[in-house]
A and B are shown apart, each in its own frame.
Chain A
Amino acid sequence: MIELKDVRKSYQDKEVLKGISTVFETGKINLVIGASGHGKSVLMRSMVGLINIDNGSISYDDRILDYQNYDQTREIRRDIGMLFQGAALFNSASVQDNVEFPLKMFTNMTKEERLDRVNFCLKHVNLENVNSKFPSEISGGMKKRVGIARAIALDIKYLFCDEPNSGLDPITSRVIDNLIKDITEEFNITTIINTHDMKTVFDIGDNIIFIYNGDKWWEGTKSGVKNSNNKELQDFLDASYIE
């Protein structure tokens, strides 16, 4: 479980997060939706400690993320897997080396054990026989899947996905959504996804948060999204052509 209390962040005079409080529950897919520039990415980057918040607290189960205590932040981060918008694979390393990297850094596995784990993770994301390929040699959807495989290589408790479907065709987007859903259920992790894709919301979302102008504007389940009276949320929904 991840709990946010009154999270605030400003850049110069502009307040980009205006006191967001919420709880992201374990074993559920928590979706953060909202238009571009309204603070979704800042919120996610704050949650993983890449941006220091000005006020409030972020706690991972019983551990509060303390930006001043770098060692503690690193300890929490070892329980986190993150899929970046552009996958953020290491371009100079092969697919196998990318997925193997966290295992090399944080486990004492033998080479054979690491290779088994890499193949297990790649199989989980429906990728096989691509171990020796480099990121520049695979498609955008495959990069995202390798990113997910790398994120789950260690036994993580929290999975963050920043716009996992951006730049992907609708079919590949559904494949990625289903992978994230399966992984969340199988490993019982807390998953948080930033997305614009309303199809994702209705397909896999458990808990939905709508961010508007840096504020938590609406929160509820996917069935509540369509029935909400919130004007900005309905405008967002209408723009997505979801009936």
Chain B
Amino acid sequence: MSIFFYFGRYLLFLRSMFTKPEKMNVYVARLFSEMVAIGIGSLPIVILISIFQGAVTTVQTAYQLITPMIPKTTIGIIVSDSTILELAPTITSLVLAGKVGSHIASEIGTMRINEEIDALEVMGINSAAFLGLPKILAGIVMIPILVIISIFLSEVGGILAGHLSGALTADEYIQGARSSFQLFNLQFSLIKAFTFGFIITSISCFHGYFTQGGALEVGESSTKAVVYSSIMILVSDYLLAQLFLEV
């Protein structure tokens, strides 16, 4: 029963956000502020994981395909396709579930236990919309942008690793990547990023908003936000693959 209770509560929480904002310009200002926090704030970690992700994938793929029967451009094909289709959107989103998700849940959870959310409500402000909506919109805008950056940097990492290890040249990598490139793969990657952005931000807002207790419970909410966001990212990753990819 409890899963239905929480799912129903989550849907009602989302529905409560879609009311007319009390003051549109305040919401817009909050949206830009959240976009900076989620987008710019996450950029260093995204840069770091993306470069290493591309580099490691290239080295490991080269290690498995070390035979003269297979052209070296194949490494570029495999690394590029797996980066666009899976690694960049999913790994980046899982990392962001940890960074952005825990931050959102602990921020809103702390506001809850400090009665700041009650103060908003008593002022006549829709607290769920005021706190949640800008974060969710910022997530579904900025996470796809971070994924595009991640794709680009993973390719750069792959080229660098191929060159440094001597597994393949930059030209061979790019030739392979270009030969297999399909626009649909990029579109699919962005659909995933959009979905994951919504999952991370909405689930984290939900867990933060319904925090009860004290500092310990804020930590619990933060952990739950990361765990449930990560699970839902993996489940929706599979469902989207089934839905969009013909096999």
Contacts and interface: CB of A to CB of B under 8 A. Distances in A.
A91 B116 contact: yes
A105 interface: yes
Contact of B123 (A85, A91, A105): A105
Nearest to A92: B107
Interface size class of A (residues with CB under 8 A): 20 to 34
Interface size class of B (residues with CB under 8 A): 10 to 19
Contact of A50 (B111, B122, B125): B122
B122 A90 contact: no
Interface string B189-229: 00000000000000000000000000000000000000000
Given A48-B122, A78-B124, A106-B124, A84 B22 contact: no
Given A104-B23, A106-B22, A77 B116 contact: no
Contacts of A82: 119, 122
A7 to B, nearest CB: 18
A90 B125 CA distance: 14
B119 A84 contact: yes
Interface in B99-158: 110-111, 114-116, 118-119, 121-126
Given A45-B118, A102-B123, A104-B23, 14 more contacts: A49-B121, A77-B124, A78-B123, A80-B123, A84-B115, A85-B115, A88-B114, A88-B118, A89-B116, A90-B111, A90-B116, A104-B26, A105-B23, A105-B123
19 contacts: A45-B118, A50-B122, A74-B126, A75-B124, A77-B122, A77-B123, A77-B124, A78-B123, A80-B123, A80-B124, A84-B119, A88-B118, A90-B111, A91-B110, A91-B116, A104-B26, A106-B22, A106-B124, A160-B122
Interface of A: 45, 48-50, 70, 74-78, 80, 82, 84-86, 88-91, 101-102, 104-106, 160
